[in-house]
Amino acid sequence: MGEIYLDHEKVLFDGPEPADAEALFNLLNQIMGEQERCIVSFEVDGCDFLRGQVKTDLQSYDKVVATSSRRSNVYRDIIADFLNNNGNLSEELISYGAVVLSLPWSKVVARIEEFSVKMQPFQDILEALVAYGRDGNFVWLELLENQFGQLEKELEKFLENAARGDVGQISDIIVCDLAVSVKTLVETLAGPVTEDLDLRSREFVA
């Protein structure tokens, strides 16, 4: 095995090193997790492991360079990036809901697929935040859980009506339910969640 650096410091193991690159990443991430941190970059011989440029079972390497960050910083930055690029998601949903009423079914299906692709990153972020909030019992956890739970129920109702081909109901659910829930969740992310994560980050710096 080669040299391993984490946050600019050389890592030394008392016993044998992990068997492969993936095992090494998992071990370092586990160790960082105990310190409220996580691995945000992991390069193996100059190749980005997190972007799939390295075989997970690679057992021979010359140098691994990893960096970690405070978990609150990571989630705060994820939220900020999402809001910068998708802050108007509720307005987009209202447009989707209006457009499907005037389209033939074949094009409605294509719009539904677009809608699903658009919503998935939002759902992934919310799911990750709920899991993170449960780890730390954060003050915003109950609010976010309730709002996310409502969104999931509405998405399930949307999919049921999409399967039946009920365009009128699809439009109503998007405009009257989903767009409203998304707007509420975006406000929660931008407000209490981000404010709390900012506070935690400042406390860490101090």
pLDDT tens sequence across 149-189: 999 999 999 999 999 999 999 999 999 999 999 999 999 99
pLDDT of residue 206: 44
Beta-ladder partners of 65? 5, 43
Q: Residue 59 — very low, low, confident or very high, per pLDDT cuts 50/70/90?
A: confident
- For 16, the enclosing helix (H) or strand (E) is none
Alpha helices in the chain, H assignment, sequence order: 21-33, 71-86, 89-99, 105-136, 141-164, 167-172, 179-188, 194-205
What is the percent of the chain with per-residue pLDDT over 90, rounded to a whole number? 68
Question: 114 falls in which pLDDT band (50, 70, 90)?
Answer: confident
Specify the residue for token string 């984490």.
6
7-16, 52-61, 117-126: range with lowest mean pLDDT: 52-61
Residue 205: which pLDDT band, with cuts at 50, 70 and 90? low
Angle, helices 194-205 vs 71-86, to 10°: value is 140
Examine the pLDDT at 22 and tell me if it is beyond 50.
Answer: yes
64's tokens: 């691994």
Q: Taking the domains of the chain in order of start, what are their residue ranges? A: 3-70, 87-205
Nearest Cα neighbor of 195 from 178, 187, 52, 71 is 187
